[in-house]
Amino acid sequence: MNIYKFGGASVRDAESIKNILQILNTQKTNLIIVVSAMGKMTDALEILCNHYFNKTGETAQALQNIKEYHFNIIRNLFSDTDREVYEKTEHLFTALETVLETEPSLCYDYEYDRIISFGELLSTTIVAAYLEKQGRKAKFVDIRKCIKTDVNYRNANVDPELSAQLCRKTFTFQDTFMYITQGFIAGTTTNQTTTLGREGSDYTAALLANLLDAENVTIWKDVPGIMSADPKIYDNTEIISKLSYREAIELSNFGAKVIHPKTIKPIQNKKIPLYVKSFMNPEAPGSVIRELDEKLKLPPIYINKDHQLLLTLTPRDFSFIAEEKLSMIFSILAKYRLKLNLMQNSAISFSFCIDYIEAVLDDFIRELQEEYEILYNKDVRLITIRHYDDAIIRRLTQDKVILVEQKSRLTARFVVTETAN
């Protein structure tokens, strides 16, 4: 049994969904298809959630944009007589409207998961209906009934034992050769919707592979494999044909967008190969992440994380940045669910880089200001270079102001901003 995961780009429009059918027609073994929200719909639903939670008065228009996007895809895949897919989609939008008509709770993360989850539910409903229409029926599974988590909304922790029991009862392949289900979303034991972290559909595919002992996982992307850099930003990138689990974990942790950071551990634990292939050129070999005995010689691999916030904290009493102060800072970061992307300290200062999340930034800084003077730079870029050399460092940092620089044996990291004119 294999796992195929199709990301947002591979279901962004009617032509992309038709292309999925061509890929599935070559599959001969039992298969579970994991599907993300269509295109940029997670971003659109996030905007909708913010309007709803903050009561901006723009909720209705944001919802209408989302509805028009999905129904436009349906019209390009189905005729007017295919009423079932229209009715199922309308039913989901009615359920979403019911959420939006109620008063939001005081917990933003809870509301976020309730609203964001509709992206995956809509995409799998439409893709499943299209496959059935084309004679490739896939049994629909609501993954929230199988993957169970705690109530850590927006980044929930999976209960592996319970999830394994439920998945094995559900994905039996007794009456079908193919299942279709959602990535990214999950559920609690009391049937509240949770999510597994942004871009978490990769993680869903890896979890299912681990829990069900899949032979392999294939993640279908709009790039030909794992690249040395983002080809949308940089020229002269190259495909990395194979990576070890260890190297893949390092790259994903530093922000490589091809693989979600939590994806590697479930497959590494059972030595399951993970392939990254292009849905636009499915015959190409792509890349594979697997157990490797040999030590690979890799080219420089560079990763950008944009929209970062660089903060420097200095104690108001000029005391040392010792363990107890670091512990307090880390606890505040954990309270606001902010992930450290880079950190550096001196005797009386502590600098760190985090994703710029406007919704919590003011409260986060206000709490730190009780004990620290704070300097910060908004909208900076964090550049990570694995297997670096001097030439690539010069190329990537030229015409930039370097705010923080770190180097180890294999990795160089820079927080930069554009040179002021």
Nearest alpha-carbon partner for 337 in 187, 134, 157, 71: 157
Share of the chain above pLDDT 70, in %: 99
The pLDDT of 182-210, averaged and rounded, is: 95
Residue 174 CA to its chain's centroid (Å): 32
- CB of 318 closer than 8 Å to CB of 348: yes
| Model confidence pLDDT, tens digit, residues 387-399 | 999 999 999 999 8
Q: What is the pLDDT of residue 212?
A: 97
Angle at 234 between CA 228 and CA 239, to 5 degrees: 25
339 and 374 in contact (C-beta within 8 Å)? no
Contact indicator for 30, 1 with CB cutoff of 8 Å = yes
Mean pLDDT along residues 282-309 = 91
CATH 3.40.1160.10 domain locations along the chain: 2-290
Average pLDDT, integer, range 191-219:
95
421 pLDDT higher than 50? no
Range(s) within the chain of domains with CATH label 3.30.2130.10: 301-418
Measured distance CA(240)–CA(346) in Å, rounded: 37
CB 14 within 8 A of CB 227: no
**Which DSSP letter does residue 143 get?**
G
pLDDT of 117 > 90? The answer is yes
* CATH architecture assignment, domain 301-418: 2-Layer Sandwich (3.30)
Q: What is the pLDDT of residues 354-383, one digit of tens each?
A: 998 887 888 999 999 999 999 999 999 999
pLDDT, tens digit (0-9, with 9 covering 90-100), for 305-324: 999 999 999 999 888 988 99
Instruction: Compute the average pLDDT of residues 10-21.
Output: 96
Q: What number is the average pLDDT over the span 21-42? A: 94
Locate 70 and state its tokens: 């999905």
pLDDT tens digits for range 224-237: 999 999 888 888 89
> What average pLDDT does this structure show over 138-147?
97
Cβ count within 10 A of residue 351: 19
Region 91-114: mean pLDDT is 96
Mean pLDDT confidence for 297-305: 92
Asked if residue 162 lies in contact with residue 148, where contact means CB atoms within 8 angstroms, the answer is yes
Residue 418 has pLDDT above 60, yes or no: yes
Mean pLDDT of all residues in the chain?
93
| pLDDT confidence of residue 385 | 95
Q: End-to-end CA distance of the chain: give it in Å, rounded.
A: 57
Distance (Å, whole) CA 105 – CA 118: 18
Statement: residue 420 has pLDDT above 70:
no
Q: What is the mean pLDDT of residues 117-138?
A: 97
For 253-287, what is each residue's pLDDT tens digit?
888 876 777 899 999 999 999 999 999 999 999 99
CATH class name, domain 2-290: alpha beta
pLDDT value at 115 more than 80: yes
- How large a percentage of the chain has pLDDT more than 90? 84
CA nearest neighbour of 126 among 71, 189, 167: 71
171 pLDDT tier (thresholds 50, 70, 90): very high
Give the pLDDT mean for 31-35. 98
